[in-house]
Amino acid sequence: MRPTNAKLKDVEAQISEMMAHIRELKSQVKQAKTKLRRLRNEEAAIFESLADHRLVFSPFRNIPEDVLREICIQAYLEGNMAELTFMGLPLPFRLAKICRGMRYIVLTTPIFW
């Protein structure tokens, strides 16, 4: 039995409504993805800032500069230079890569140069 014109128009209207609903859902998904990306970027920025703030509590930061300098000098004087290189990088260069404070100590300690 062949559907009537009224039935066909009713089915076409339903299809049209469903397609409009699908377009709306796709738009909402796109907006949600954009918001999720923004939230993930914000989360990453907060984690980075948090890590920077936590560095303040690092025990390493509480060691006086002269003590750190002496530790570095002793490592340099007493260590086997072959063991104190990594990937061809001598000890002073390795120490200088740790952080800005260590770089300052290494660069201002004459025994390394």
Rounded distance between C-alpha atoms, residue 83 and residue 109, angstroms:
21
- The three-class DSSP label of residue 89 is strand
Rounded distance between C-alpha atoms, residue 79 and residue 60, angstroms:
21
Task: Give the percent of the chain with pLDDT over 90.
Answer: 49
Tokens of 26: 């796709």
Tell me what the mean pLDDT of segment 77-89 comes to: 67
- The three-class DSSP label of residue 38 is helix
Contact 97, 90 (CB under 8 A): no
- Compare 53 and 113 and report the one with higher pLDDT: 53
What is the reported pLDDT for 100? Answer: 86
For helices 65-78 and 100-107, the axis angle rounded to 10 degrees is 60
What is the reported pLDDT for 10? Answer: 94
Q: Give, in degrees to the nearest 5, the angle at Cα 20 between 26 and 7.
A: 145
Look up the pTM and report it: 0.48
Tell me what the mean pLDDT of segment 95-107 comes to: 88
Per the document, the length of the chain is: 113
Q: pLDDT-derived band of residue 84, with 50, 70 and 90 as boundaries?
A: low
| 95 exposure class (CB count in 10 Å sphere: 0-12, 13-18, 19+) | buried
